[in-house]
C-alpha cells in the first residue's frame, strides 16, 4: 500500500512505538515566542533540565510587543514588559537563539521560521502556538503544542504523539481573479464546519493548490486549525525548493544537494489511502467574508446573512442567534455594503510580502474612506524592510493606513490595544471570535485584497467590483 507524505515524514521520525498505541516522535525544531515560550523556558529551568540541542531551538518576540514606531520593552498589555524581559533572560540562560526587539530577524513566529529557513520540507516542527500548522505549506510536519510539551521537546528532542487520521482536501480547477488562498480555506470551513477536520492531518492537493505561491500555501495551512485539524500540509515541489534556497538557516553545498534529493521523495504515492476525502471546485469560488463569530460563519462576498430559523440543529441555531446578536446583524442582510469602521492587514495568516503587495495594488491611487481606521502590520522586520524597499509603505500611508513595526498586534486582544467597543472591523486575521480584537469588537475575516477594497469603500466590498469600476473609467 502506498503512503501519503504525512505518513512518510511521520515514519522517518518514529523513535519508539509505545504500548498504548502512541508514538515517541523525534522533533527537529522547537520555536517559542514570549507569550508562551517564557513559561516553557522557566519551567525547564525550574526543573533543573537543560535544552538538549539549543542550536535547534529558536525564540522570537511577537505576540505582546508594541508595534508603534520607536517601541521598546514597554507594551500596552498589562504585565507585558515582564513577559519580554523574562523571555530574554531565559533564552540567554538556555543558550537558544533569540530574535529580540531590534533584531532584523524579529517577527511573527510563523512568518520568521520559513523566512529564515528554519522550517524546511520534511522536518518536524513544534511551537506552543495553535497556528504552527502554517509551516505545513513548506511540506513540513508542524503542529501546535502546550508549554509543558515544549519543555519535553527541548529537553529530550521527542514528544509522545498519537497518529492522526488522514484527510485529503482536493482543490480542483483554477482560481478566478480576486480570489486567494484565504478564500479557499474560508470556503472550506464554511462548507464543512469548524470541526470538519477534527482528529485529522490534512493534505491539500489539486491544481489550485499547485498553482499557489509558497506564501499562499502557508496561508492555506495556517487555518487548518480553524477547520479543527491537527495540522495541514502541502507536498513540496520546485516552487518550494526555490523558496527555501539560500535562506540563512537552509543547508548549502553538499548538504543542500543531499537535502534536495530527500525532499524530492516527499510526495504522496498514487495509491496512498486516506480516512476521508473532500473535493472543492475552485473555478466558481468568489471572495469570502465571515458574518459571525466563528470562521465557519462565512459566505461568498455576494451572499447574505443566513436565517437561524432555517437551521434544524438546535445547538447550531442557538450559536447562530448568539453570533448575530453579538455582530449586530439581521438575517437576510447583504454582506456587501455593510459599513465598517476599521480595517486590519496583518497576522501570521496574511502579513507576508506577497500579501502586502496585493493590498498595495488595490490601495494605490486610492484613499481610505472617511471614518475608517486602517492599520497594516508587517509579519516580520524582513517583510517590513522589503516592503519599504519597494515603496509599499508609502502606498499604505498615502492611502491612509497606519504603517507599523512587525508583530501580532491586533490579531488578538490581550488587554492592550483594540479597535474599540462594537467597532466593525474587516480583517485579514484568522479568528473572529467574540472579543478577539477587543471588547465586543465585531470582526469580519477576509483576504488582504478584500480588506483593502473595503477600507477604501468604507463598507465590505468585492475587490473585483472596485477594479471593474477602474476599467470603466
Query: Is the confidence at residue 192, as pLDDT, over 70?
Result: yes
- 332-336, 365-369, 423-427, 466-470: least confidently modelled range: 466-470
Task: Tell me whether strands 200-205 and 424-427 are parallel, antiparallel or unpaired.
Answer: unpaired
pLDDT at 206: 98
* CB-based contact 332:363 (threshold 8 Å): no
Q: What percent of the chain has pLDDT over 70?
A: 99
Radius of gyration of the chain (CA): 22
| Residue among 182, 365, 216, 191 at smallest CA distance from 288 | 182
Give the domains, in start order, of the chain with CATH numbers. Answer: 5-162 (3.30.499.10), 165-236+268-284 (3.40.1060.10), 288-471 (3.30.499.10)
Residue reference for cell 508603534: 68
Task: Tell me whether strands 401-403 and 424-427 are parallel, antiparallel or unpaired.
Answer: unpaired
| Residue among 343, 390, 388, 384 at smallest CA distance from 366 | 343
Which pLDDT band, with edges at 50, 70 and 90, does 462 fall under?
A: very high
pLDDT at 4: 98
Q: What percent of the chain has pLDDT over 90?
A: 96
CA distance 394 to 399: 8
CA distance 372 to 456: 9
Q: Mean of the per-residue pLDDT values for the chain? A: 96
Q: HEC profile for the chain?
A: CECCHHHHHHHHHEEEECCCCCEEEECCEEEEECCCHHHHHHHHHHCCCCCCCHHHEEEECCCCCCCCCCCCCCCCCCCHHHHHHHHHHHHHHHCCEEECCCCCCCECHHHHHHHCCCCCCCCEEEECCHHHHHHHHHCCEEEECCHHHHHHHHHHCEEEECCCEEEEEEEECCCCCCCCHHHHHHHHHHHHCCCCCCCEEEEEECHHHHCCCHHHHHHHHHCCHHHCCCEEECCCCHHHHHHHCCCCCCCCHHHHHHHHHHHCCCCCCCCECCCEEEEEEHHHCCCEEECCCCCCCEEECCCECCCHHHCCCHHHHHHHHHHHHHHCCCCCCECCCCECCEEEECCCCCCCHHHHHHHHHHHCCCCCCCCCEEEECCCEHHHHHHHHHHCHHHHHHHHCEEECCCCCHHHCCCCCCCCCCCCEEEECCCCCCCCCCCCCCEEEECCHHHHHHHHHHCECCCHHHHHHHHHCC
pLDDT at 471: 61
Name the pTM for this structure.
0.97
Cα–Cα–Cα angle for 196, 186, 438, nearest 5°? 105
pLDDT at 163: 97
| pLDDT (tens digit per residue) in 371-430 | 999 999 999 999 999 999 999 999 999 999 999 999 999 999 977 889 999 999 999 999
User: What integer is the mean pLDDT of 233-259?
Assistant: 98
Query: Is the confidence at residue 468, as pLDDT, over 90?
Result: no
In the structure grid, which three cell numbers stand for residue 228, read together?
A: 479543527
CA distance 186 to 178: 14
In the structure grid, which three cell numbers stand for residue 107, read together?
A: 517577527
| pLDDT (tens digit per residue) in 19-52 | 999 999 999 999 999 999 889 999 999 999 999 9
CB-count burial class (<10 Å; 0-12, 13-18, 19+) for 35: buried
In a 13 Å sphere around the CA of 364, the CA atoms on its Cβ side amount to: 11
Which pLDDT band, with edges at 50, 70 and 90, does 467 fall under?
A: confident
CA distance 91 to 301: 45
| pLDDT (tens digit per residue) in 107-122 | 999 999 999 999 999 9
pLDDT at 414: 79
Task: Tell me whether strands 23-26 and 158-161 are parallel, antiparallel or unpaired.
Answer: antiparallel
pLDDT at 415: 72
Query: Is the confidence at residue 302, as pLDDT, over 60?
Result: yes
What lies within 8 Å, CB to CB, of 122 at 6+ separation is 9, 12, 139, 140, 141, 236, 262, 263, 266
In the structure grid, which three cell numbers stand for residue 64, read together?
A: 505582546
| pLDDT (tens digit per residue) in 126-164 | 999 999 999 999 999 999 999 999 999 999 999 999 999
| pLDDT (tens digit per residue) in 48-101 | 999 999 999 999 999 999 999 999 999 988 899 999 999 999 999 999 999 999
| pLDDT (tens digit per residue) in 384-396 | 999 999 999 999 9
Query: Is the confidence at residue 472, as pLDDT, over 60?
Result: no
Phi and psi at residue 108, to the nearest 5°? -65, 135
Amino acid at each position: 500500500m502506498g503512503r501519503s507524505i504525512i505518513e512518510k515524514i511521520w515514519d522517518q521520525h518514529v523513535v519508539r512505538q509505545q504500548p498504548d498505541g502512541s508514538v515517541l516522535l523525534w522533533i527537529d525544531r522547537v520555536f517559542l515566542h514570549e507569550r508562551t515560550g517564557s513559561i516553557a523556558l522557566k519551567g525547564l529551568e525550574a526543573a533543573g533540565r537543560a535544552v538538549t540541542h539549543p542550536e535547534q531551538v529558536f525564540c522570537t518576540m511577537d505576540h505582546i510587543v508594541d508595534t508603534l514606531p520607536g517601541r521598546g520593552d514597554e507594551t500596552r498589555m498589562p504585565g507585558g514588559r515582564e513577559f519580554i524581559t523574562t523571555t530574554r533572560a531565559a533564552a540567554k540562560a538556555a543558550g537558544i537563539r533569540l530574535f529580540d526587539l531590534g533584531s532584523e530577524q524579529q517577527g511573527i513566529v510563523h512568518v520568521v521560521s520559513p523566512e529564515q529557513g528554519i522550517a524546511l520540507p520534511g522536518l518536524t516542527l513544534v511551537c506552543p502556538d495553535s497556528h504552527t500548522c502554517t509551516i505545513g505549506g513548506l511540506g513540513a510536519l508542524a503542529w501546535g503544542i502546550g508549554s509543558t510539551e515544549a519543555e519535553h521537546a527541548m529537553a529530550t528532542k521527542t514528544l509522545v504523539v498519537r497518529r492522526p487520521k488522514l484527510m485529503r482536501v482536493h482543490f480542483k480547477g483554477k482560481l478566478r481573479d480576486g480570489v486567494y488562498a484565504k478564500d479557499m480555506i474560508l470556503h472550506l470551513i464554511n462548507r464543512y464546519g469548524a470541526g470538519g477536520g477534527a482528529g485529522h492531518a490534512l493534505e491539500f492537493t489539486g491544481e489550485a493548490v499547485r498553482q499557489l505561491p509558497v506564501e499562499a500555501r502557508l496561508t492555506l495551512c495556517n487555518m487548518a486549525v480553524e477547520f479543527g485539524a491537527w495540522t495541514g500540509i502541502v507536498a513540496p515541489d520546485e516552487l518550494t525548493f526555490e523558496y527555501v534556497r539560500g535562506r540563512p538557516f537552509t543547508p548549502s553545498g553538499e548538504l543542500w544537494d543531499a537535502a534536495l534529493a530527500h525532499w524530492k521523495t516527499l510526495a504522496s504515492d498514487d495509491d496512498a489511502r486516506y480516512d476521508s476525502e473532500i473535493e472543492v471546485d475552485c473555478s466558481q469560488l468568489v471572495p469570502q467574508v465571515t458574518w459571525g463569530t466563528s470562521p465557519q460563519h462565512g459566505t461568498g462576498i455576494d451572499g447574505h446573512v443566513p436565517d437561524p430559523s432555517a437551521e434544524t440543529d438546535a445547538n447550531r441555531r442557538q450559536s447562530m442567534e448568539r453570533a448575530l446578536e453579538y455582530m449586530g446583524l439581521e438575517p437576510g442582510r447583504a454582506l456587501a455594503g455593510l459599513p465598517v469602521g476599521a480595517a486590519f492587514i496583518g497576522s501570521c495568516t496574511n502579513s507576508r510580502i506577497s500579501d502586502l503587495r496585493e493590498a498595495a495594488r488595490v490601495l494605490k491611487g486610492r484613499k481610505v474612506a472617511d471614518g475608517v481606521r486602517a492599520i497594516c502590520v508587517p509579519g516580520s522586520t524582513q517583510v517590513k524592510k522589503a516592503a519599504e524597499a519597494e515603496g509599499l509603505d508609502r502606498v499604505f500611508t498615502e492611502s491612509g493606513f497606519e504603517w507599523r513595526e512587525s508583530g501580532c498586534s491586533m490579531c488578538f486582544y490581550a488587554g492592550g490595544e483594540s479597535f474599540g467597543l462594537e467597532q466593525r472591523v474587516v480583517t485579514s486575521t484568522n479568528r473572529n471570535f467574540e472579543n478577539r480584537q477587543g471588547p465586543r469588537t465585531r470582526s469580519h475575516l477576509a483576504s488582504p485584497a478584500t480588506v483593502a477594497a473595503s477600507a477604501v469603500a468604507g463598507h465590505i466590498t468585492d475587490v473585483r467590483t472596485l477594479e471593474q469600476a477602474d476599467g470603466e473609467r
